[in-house]
Amino acid sequence: MTFGDPEDITLPSDDGPVVRLPFAALPPGAAGSPGEEDRTTRHELVIRLAGSRASSWGLDAPRARAVMIHAAVEHLLDLARHRDFPPSEDLLIDGGTFPGPMPERFDRPISIAGSTIEVERAGDPIGGNSSAPG
């Protein structure tokens, strides 16, 4: 997966901040291959942080954005391990999806634009020849 720039798409009617995270996915073993560009798929994840969750965690705007990106990366890594990516998907961060106190791992700055992460599919041995995208 290669990440683009997270984009604030919050509307005045939204309950809390909303960020769109574009990313591209390439099947294992396709990097550097002749058809790499044709095999790359483009996707987006829309991350919504409920105002009540931001308030209960005491998040100001910069910390809220970092929390949203941390949660997005974890969500995408889980998807990559277990199934294909839909073209677009939503992630809601609220008391139902993230109950209790804010995870400590979310409370640090993060910048992912331009970053690339290689993810091993669940059940695939390291160096395995899976044809599933991820």
> In this predicted structure, what is the pLDDT of residue 118?
80
The per-type count for the chain, helices as H runs and strands as E runs, is 3, 5
pLDDT tens-digit readout, 64-118: 999 999 999 999 998 888 877 888 999 999 999 999 999 999 988 888 888 887 8
Number of domains in the chain: 1
Asked if residue 62 belongs to a domain, the reply is: yes
Cα–Cα distance measured from residue 133 to residue 131, given in angstroms and rounded to the nearest whole number = 6
Provide the residue range defining the domain that includes 71.
2-106
Report whether 36 contacts 30 (CB < 8 A). Answer: yes
Cα–Cα distance measured from residue 120 to residue 132, given in angstroms and rounded to the nearest whole number = 10
Asked if residue 117 belongs to a domain, the reply is: no
pLDDT tens-digit readout, 18-46: 999 999 988 766 666 676 677 788 999 99
Report whether 1 contacts 24 (CB < 8 A). Answer: yes
Report whether 18 contacts 10 (CB < 8 A). Answer: yes
